[in-house]
Amino acid sequence: MALLRIHGIDLAYERSGDPRGTPILLIMGLGMQLVSWPEEFVEGLGDLGYNVIRFDNRDSGLSSKFRAAGKPNLGWTWLKSKLHWPIRPAYTLDDMAGDALAVLNALGIGRAHVVGVAMGGMIGQVLTAKHPERVLSLTSIMSSSGRRGLPGPSREARAALLERPRNTKDRAALVEHMLGVMRTIGSPAYPMPERLLRQRIVRSLARSICPDGVARQMAAITASGDRSEMLRAIAVPTLVIHGAADPVVPLQCGIDTASLIPGARLEIIEGMGHDLPPALTERLLALIDAHTRGKMLPDPIPRLFEKQ
């Protein structure tokens, strides 16, 4: 892991795989870190010959925290968005896309394939729409266009995500809390072994804990609003992957995203929720590799992948 000092903030990043391979930039989601990418997925991309770059978004991991901005009132932010009142977050998704671009610039990478998960997919959408000359292809996973009227999280998922642990200084309690959240939003057909899930949670918490940063990222998403017109301008090859059982960003959001991007291909995975379970690693690698190598033709008909 290394740090880049870019436009006044530190961004933690890591490179792996083939240094001479085609660059692929991985952008993680809300509150997640570069270590949240499953190691078997990252190593798989390296084995396929890619130069893999992943980084911590601002306000997560070892990148700079915007503590001076304080914790936003998310309820008030949401209400203002519904009333079309101006929102002034600490930063926007455009700023976060600027961070991704700055990482490419600092590493001397002219063009890269971009893979984003959830909020990372939104950041990838903005990066691709505003800087198409820097993006070879886009893969948007379990993400959304932000269009008004799309369904939100299920009641259970919303409750799990909004619930706060009783004692944020009790590491064991935090681990149990996160286990409960991940069980609620994870893939019902591909449950992650608890030992592995616990290991991942412990590793992330040992590296960084910044709940106010998650709130600031949520405010950035809310302030971004509807990206429909932006998505219609995307001209690079695009793959949209979405789980049919996603309780956080429902399937309709993925269908909508694919319908807005000209020529986008939609892949629906039955039984997949809002995570990247080990059982789907090979499938995801195969989809992304075929997409980035131009072996996937645009197809408006979603391909269902069902558990065997």
Q: State the residue for tokens 């490179």.
A: 15
Mean of the per-residue pLDDT values for the chain? 92
Q: Are 249 and 274 in contact (CB under 8 A)?
A: yes
CB-CB contact of 50 with 25 (8 Å): no
Q: Is the pLDDT of residue 161 over 90?
A: no
Mean pLDDT of the region 260-285:
97
**The predicted structure's pLDDT at residue 298:** 53
* pLDDT bucket at 48, cuts 50 / 70 / 90: very high
Chain-centroid distance of CA 163 in Å reads: 21
Helix 119-130 / helix 93-106 crossing angle, nearest 10 deg: 70
Looking at the structure of the chain, the number of domains it has is 1
pLDDT of 46: 98
**Helix (H) or strand (E) segment spanning residue 139:** strand 135-141
Q: Which residues pair with 22 in a beta bridge?
A: 50
Q: Is the pLDDT of residue 307 over 50?
A: no
- Give the range of the structural domain holding residue 87, as residue numbers without chain letter: 2-305
Q: Is the pLDDT of residue 16 over 60?
A: yes
Instruction: Specify the CATH number for the domain of residue 238.
Output: 3.40.50.1820
Tell me what the mean pLDDT of segment 201-218 comes to: 92
pTM strictly above 0.95 = no
Q: Contact 156/247 with Cβ under 8 angstroms?
A: yes
